[in-house]
Amino acid sequence: AKQKGRDNAQVFAPEMASVVVKKFGLEQEMHEALELGQFSLEYQPKVWGDKSHIIGLEALIRWHHPVKGRVSPVDFIPIAEESNLITKIGEWVIDEALKQQNRWRKIGLKLVPVAVNISGRHLIHDDFVPYISGKLKAYELSGALLEIEITEGVLLQDIERCIAVMKALKALNITISVDDFGTGYSSLSYLKRLPIDVLKIDQSFVDECGKHTEDTTICETIIHLARNLKLVTIAEGVETQEQAELLNQMGCQVYQGYYFYRPMPSSEAATLLHENLSF
Ligand code: C2E
Ligand code: CA
Ligand code: CA
Ligand code: CA
């Protein structure tokens, strides 16, 4: 029995240890990445109708790891979310996006709001709103040039706290969007209580829109719901003209996806803003 126990330990312990080491290693590396400037932002346009009307940009974080190369946010954001590291990363993203807005304004570009993705843990952190208002002041920007995207699940964690934070954001003129909408379980009464402006239809529904009745119905339902609540709908992950046309017929207003633009470095986004037809 003793022998068997030792064998088991040899089989399982190293594996578990390596998971722990990997995670801890990545966490450590993210701290270093912040210090060494390995993160950057790419910007994906949000369009109204067609490619020539860009009404906003979404900032997406990129990590250029010195050895591993590009690491996807899908692989490191969830780990960062397990600790206050996500707050540090979120603050870096906010600072970088607003710094970029300030630079673009200085060279005379017509600005559009930049959306940043914020985790629930960060949203309800005491420093969140003061940090943002401090940065808006420092870069001499109106809150109207900032948008916060939060996923639906966040809303269910601490609703009263969410409402308070969102009201403070609204007082600064910041737009609030619910990301990946349709994948969580928020009830309509929750939605009504929250001062949100935009619903982003999750790309899994957009992807199957027109192909499967269920997904088509979900898209339609979200668009109608949004209209009744006087919210804007954005379809994310639009990859084909067919999807865009169908969503347009359903009354969707704003689009984002590879069919229009892929995420791009700030220099390319600046070129687009330069050519952008404004309303
Ligand atoms: P998300 O916020 O839902 O962002 C949309 C993701 O879909 C992005 O992936 C974007 O590049 C990708 N995408 C856009 N259009 C299309 C399309 O037409 N087809 C397909 N297949 N994909 C498309 P990305 O940049 O890899 O980001 C993945 C996720 O990581 C984001 O999902 C978001 O949850 C998270 N993330 C990214 N940047 C940040 C950040 O700065 N902070 C936080 N907290 N999370 C972030
Ligand atoms: Ca997003
Ligand atoms: Ca999304
Ligand atoms: Ca997503």
- Write out the chain's pLDDT in tens, 279 residues: 444 444 544 555 666 667 666 777 899 999 999 999 999 999 999 999 888 899 999 999 999 999 999 999 999 999 999 999 999 999 999 999 999 999 999 999 999 999 999 999 999 999 999 999 999 999 999 999 999 999 887 777 788 899 999 999 999 999 999 999 988 776 667 788 889 999 999 999 999 988 888 889 999 999 999 999 999 999 999 999 999 999 999 999 999 999 999 999 999 999 999 988 655
Cα separation, 165 vs 180, whole angstroms = 20
Buried b (16+ CB within 10 A) or exposed e, 114-146: bbbbbbbbbbebeebbebbbebbeebebebebb
Number of the ligand 1 atom closest to the C-alpha atom of 122: 44
As a dihedral over the C-alpha atoms of residue 63, residue 69, residue 75, residue 76, rounded to 10 degrees, the angle is: -40
For 221, the token pair is 């339902």
| Nearest ligand to the CA atom of 78 | 1
Buried b (16+ CB within 10 A) or exposed e, 154-185: bbeeeeeebeebbebbeeeebbbbbbbbbebe
Is ligand 1 within 6 A of the CB of residue 142?
no
How many CB atoms lie under 10 A from the CB of residue 64? 13
Residues less than 5 Å from ion ligand 4, measured at CB? 180
Pairing state between β 198-201 and 232-235 = parallel
As a dihedral over the C-alpha atoms of residue 131, residue 195, residue 204, residue 239, rounded to 10 degrees, the angle is: -80
Q: Is the separation of the CB atoms in 100 and 41 below 8 Å?
A: yes
Q: What is the DSSP letter of 264?
A: B
Q: Is the separation of the CB atoms in 257 and 203 below 8 Å?
A: yes
Cα separation, 222 vs 181, whole angstroms = 8
| pTM beyond 0.90 | yes
Cα separation, 125 vs 120, whole angstroms = 9
Is ligand 1 within 6 A of the CB of residue 180?
yes
As a dihedral over the C-alpha atoms of residue 143, residue 146, residue 151, residue 152, rounded to 10 degrees, the angle is: 40
**Complex ipTM tops 0.85:** yes
| Nearest ligand to the CA atom of 256 | 1
Longest dimension (CA), the chain: 77
